[in-house]
Structure 1
Amino acid sequence: MAAPPRPDLLERLAAQTAERERANLLRRVRTVDQADGPWLDISGKRLLSFCSNDYLGLAQHPQLIAALRRAASECGVGSTSAHLICGHRTEHAELEEALAAWTGRERAVLFSTGYMANLGVMQALLARGDVCVQDKLNHACLIDGARLSGAELKRYPHADVDAATRQLTSNDSAATVLATDGVFSMDGDVAPLRELAALCTREHATLMVDDAHGFGVLGHSGGGSLEASALNPYEVPVLMATLGKALGCAGAFVAGSHALIQGLMQFARPYIYTTAMPPALAAAALVATQLAQAETWRREKLNALIARFRAGAGQLGLTLSSSTTAIQPIVLGDAQAALDAANTLEWRGLLVTAIRPPTVPAGSARLRITLSAAHEDAHVDKLLDALEALRLPPAKS
C-alpha cells in the first residue's frame, strides 16, 4: 500500500496566511519614501508619524550622519567578518567601552540586533534542566531564546511578582534566570524591577532585563529603567538594550561583568557566527550615546509631551494604560476596530499603527501611539483632535 503523500509545506503556509487575512490579522509592509523628523512620505501622502521608536529624535541628527559618513569614508561599509575573526574595529571597541561606562558595568558586547542578543544570552546561560521564568508579555525574542536553550520556560501573569515567586520557588535546585522587559513594548508600563531584583537576590536566581524601550529614555542620564529604579549591576547582572530606538541607530548590546561578557563571546552563537555591524554604524551610535547623555532636554521635552497627551486624552475620556513612557496604547479590543481607527487617522494625515494578535493577546487589539522628542506640542494637539473625531468608546468608570 502506497504511503500517503507528504504535506506540501508551501501550501500549508499559504493556507495559514489566507486564514490570517480572513481574520483581519495580515501584516503588510509599507515603504517610506522619505523621512523628515516625525513626518513620513508614504505612497504620495505626507503623514505625521506616531508609531516610531525614535524616542529622542536622534535618528536624523546631523552629528550622527556626519560620524557615519566620516567612518564609512575611512573604513568602508561592511565590517567584512565576524567580531572574533577580523570584523571588530576601533569603532566597535570605543562604542562598547562607552556603553559599559554609561550603564556602570565592567564590560559590554555588541550584537547586530536585540533579537540576536537575547537569543545569545539565553543560549549561553541556560541548558536542559535549568529554568527560565518570564513575564507573559515579554518580547518574543526572550521567549524564543528560552525555548531554544532547552531550559524549562515558566511564564507568570504580567507584572505579578507573587506569581513570579511561585514559579521561581517551584524548583529550588535548578539554576534559574528570571527575564523581564524593562519597559513593555506594547503596553509601555515599567516592570516591577525592584521587587523582582529582591526576589532574585533572595532565591539566588539571575535577573536579566531587556531594556530596549527604556534605555536612553528613563533615568537622569538616560541609563534606562535600571537607573530609574536605582538598581546596581549586582542586583541585575544581565542587561540588554538596543541602539535602534532612543539612540536612533541599529544594533544592540549586553552589559555586565567581565565574566558574563567573556562567556558570551565564547558561547553565544548569534555573536560568534554573525558578521559584525558596520563600523560606520558603531561610530554613529557612539555619537548618539554622547548626545543622549548630554542633551537632557530631549528627555525633558519627551516627558512634557507625554504629560500633554495623557492630560488631553483624559479630557476626552479615552481609555489609557498606566504607562508614563513614550508608548501610549489605546486598547480597542477588536482587530477590525483597530484597523478602522488607524485608517481614519491616516485619512486625517496621521500614521498610527494598529497592533493586532498575535503580537498582542486576543481581544486586545490597539492603537499603539508612540511619542518622540521630535514632536511638538502642536503635533500632539493634532493627534488629540483626530482621536476626538474618532468617537472612541469612553473610559469605563
Structure 2
Amino acid sequence: MPSAQLQTELDERAAQGLLRQRRTLETPQTPHIIVDGKPYLAFSSNDYLGLANHPQLIAALQQGAQQWGVGAGAAHLVNGHFTPHHQLEQRLAAFVGKPAALLFSTGYMANLGVVQALAGKGDTVYADKLNHASLNDAMLLSRATVQRYRHGDLAQLDALLAKQQSGSKLVITDAVFSMDGDLAPLPGLLALCERHDAWLLVDDAHGFGVLGQYGRGTLSHFGLGSPRLILMGTLGKAAGVSGAFVAAEQVVIDSLVNHAHSYVYTTASPPALAVALLESMTLIEQGDALRAHLQRLIVKLRTGLNDLPWQLMPSDTAIQPLLVGDNKQALTLSAGLRERGIWVAAIRPPTVPQGTARLRITLSAAHTEGDVQRLIEALHALAGKSEIRAATDRTPRPAGEGERG
C-alpha cells in the first residue's frame, strides 16, 4: 500500500529527530500564550512589533468587515479588487519609495509570482544558498537556468554574472535571513546588478516594519534606491495582519498583473484585511518607540547569553538563533524550556543545513525586559544540566556552508 511507504518515511524522520508536528494556540498571538491548556512565555512568533493583537487593528478589521464584507469573492482581475486594496497598494508604494505596488495573498505567492513572471527559459536566476524556500521553489518553477552562490559571497556572484552572455539576469535574495538573522550585503549586490545589467529581487519579509527609517525596511536601512530593485514585503509579520506586497517600477508591476500566475489565478484577499493593514501602516510609521524597545531587548538577550555553551549566531535583528548542532539535542533543549513555561521552537534540517539545528529565538516589541530575563535565566539553568551539556557542540558553522530547504 502506498500509505505504508508514507508511514515508513515518517517513522524515519521521527528517528532522526526531524518529524514536524503542529500545536494549537488557544489564545491570540502575544508573548503570553496557552498551548494544549498550558501557559507559556513565547519567543517564536514573527510579530516583531506586537501588532497581531493590537486593539486598533482589531477595530479596523471589524469596521472593514462591516463595510466590505468578509470575502473578496473573485480574483483581482475579475471583480475582486476593492477600494481598500487600491488604497493600500498606493500607501505601500509611497511608504517604501517605489512608483507602484501589488498585493499578494502571501509572501510565498509573491515570490513565486515575481520570479515566474520575470525569468523563464533562456534567462538565469542567481540565488543565495540560504534563501527562503519560497525563493528556491520560485526559481525552479520559472524554468530559468539556476545559479546558486555561497551565502553572501559577492565575488562568486560577480564571477557567475560575468559568464552569462544571453538572456535576462535576476538576482534573488532574502534581506534578513529568517533562520540566521543576518543581513544580505545589499549595497554590494545592487552594485553587481548595476554592473551586469540584472534585476535584484529583495525578500524583506523580516525587515519590513522593523528596519530603516520609520520601519520602511532593509532598503531604507542601507539607503538604497534603484529602478533595478524589486522589493517583496510581508504583511503578516511586523505588520501584524496577513498578506504580502511587491513594490517596483510601474512597468514591473504591470508585467506582474499580466504574467504572475499566483496573482492572476487566485481569489483576492478579503478587503477587510486591507482596511486593517492601512491602520497598521500608520502604527508602523509611528512606531519608533517600539523599534527602539526591540533593539534594547536584542542587546539584553545577547549580553545575557554570551557565556552559554551554545553560541548565538551573529545577528542584530529580532531573529536570534542559538546554535545547538545536533537535532535531538535541539529538541531536548526546546523541551527543557517548555518544562519551564517558555516556548522556543527547535529548527532542524532541511530548514537549516545538516549539523546546525538551533533554537530560533525571536523577540517582539511586546516582550518586556522581564520576559527576556526569564529566558536568559532558564537557558543558564539548562546549561548546567549534565545530560544537556554533554551533547553540546560549540563549533560554529562557517559562513555560507550548506543550503536552506
Taking the TM superposition and a 5 Å limit, the aligned residue runs for 1:224-235 are: 224-234=217-227
CA separation in 2, counterparts of 1:367 and 1:318? 10
Give the match's secondary structure for 2:19. Answer: coil
Aligned counterpart, 2:6: 13
Q: What aligned pairs does 1:46-57 form with structure 2 within 5 A after superposition? A: 46-57=39-50
1:4 corresponds to? none
The reply to whether residue 169 of structure 1 matches residue 159 of structure 2 is no
- Change in 2 beyond 3 A, CA 1:396/1:269: closer
Does the Cα contact within 8 Å between 2:73 and 2:267 map onto a contact in 1? yes
Which residue of structure 2 aligns with residue 5 of structure 1?
none
Which one of the candidate residues 333, 336, 342 is aligned to 2:328? 336
Q: Could you tell me which residue of structure 1 aligns to residue 271 of structure 2?
A: 279
Q: Who is 2:118 aligned against?
A: 125
Q: State which of 180, 196, 204 in structure 2 corresponds to 1:203.
A: 196
Q: Is contact 1:233–1:256 with CA below 8 Å preserved after alignment?
A: no
Matched, 1:62 2:62: no
Among 242, 250, 253, the alignment partner of 2:245 is 253
Deviation for aligned residue 1:394: 8.4
Q: 1:42 to 1:373 in 2, by over 3 A?
A: same
Which of 319, 325, 346 is residue 327 of structure 1 equivalent to?
319
Aligned twin of 1:77: 70
Q: Check whether the contact 2:100–2:248 (CA below 8 A) recurs between aligned residues.
A: yes
Partner of 1:265: 257
Q: Give, in angstroms, the shift of residue 20 of structure 1.
A: 1.1
Partner of 1:95: 88
Query: 2:100 is matched with which residue?
Result: 107
SS at match of 2:214: coil
Contact 1:319 1:331 in 2 (8 A): yes
Contact between 1:130 and 1:175, CA under 8 Å: does it hold in 2? Answer: yes
Secondary structure of 1:254's counterpart equals strand
- How far apart, CA to CA, are the structure 2 residues paired with 1:278 and 1:120? 19
Among candidates 343, 354, 359, match of residue 351 of structure 1: 343
Q: Write the distance in 1 (CA, Å) between the matches of 2:29 and 2:123.
A: 48
CA RMSD of aligned residues (A): 1.4
- CA distances 1:308-366 after superposition (whole Å, capped 9, x unpaired): 11111114464111110000001111000000000000000100000001110111100
In 1, the alpha carbon distance for the partners of 2:279 and 2:219 equals 22
Aligned to 2:377: 385
Distance 1:20 1:395 in 2: 25
How far did residue 221 of structure 1 move? 1.3
CA contact (8 A) 1:107 1:255 kept: yes
* Residue of structure 2 equivalent to 1:293: 285
CA distance in 1, matches of 2:107, 2:98: 19
Structure 1 residue 125: deviation in Å?
Answer: 0.3
Kept in 2, the 8 Å contact 1:329–1:368? The answer is: yes
User: How far is 1:175 from its partner?
Assistant: 1.2
Letter in 2 for 1:326: A
Query: Displacement, 1:395?
Result: 5.5
Residue 226 (structure 1) shift: 0.5
* Unpaired stretches in structure 1, ≥5 consecutive residues: 1-7
2:117 counterpart SS class? helix
> How far apart are 1:174 and its partner, in Å?
2.9
Question: Following the alignment from structure 2 to structure 1, what is the Cα–Cα distance between the partners of residues 4 and 150?
Answer: 36
Which is further off, 386-395 or 46-55? 386-395
**Preserved CA contact (<8 Å) 1:319 1:394:** no
Q: Is the 8 A contact 1:341 1:390 kept in 2?
A: yes
- Partner residue, 2:109: 116
Deviating more after overlay: 161-170 vs 207-216: 161-170
Alignment gaps of 5+ in structure 2: 384-388, 397-405
Question: Could you tell me how far 1:11 is from its partner in structure 2?
Answer: 3.9
> 2:229–2:248: 8 Å Cα contact kept in structure 1?
yes
Give the secondary-structure state (helix, strand or coil) at the position aligned to 2:189.
helix
The one-character-per-residue Cα deviations of 1:271-290 (angstroms, maximum 9, x if unpaired) are: 00111011111111111111
* Counterpart Cα distance in 2 of 1:198 and 1:9: 51
The one-letter amino acid paired with 1:123 is Q
Shift of 1:197: 0.5
1:96 deviates by 0.5
TM-score by length of 1: 0.95
Aligned match of 1:3: none
List per-residue Cα deviations over 1:170-195 (Å, max 9, x = no partner): 22323110000000000000000000
Q: Name the SS for the 1:314 alignment partner.
A: coil
Deviation at 1:9, TM superposition (A): 4.7
Q: 1:19 offset after TM fit, Å?
A: 1.6
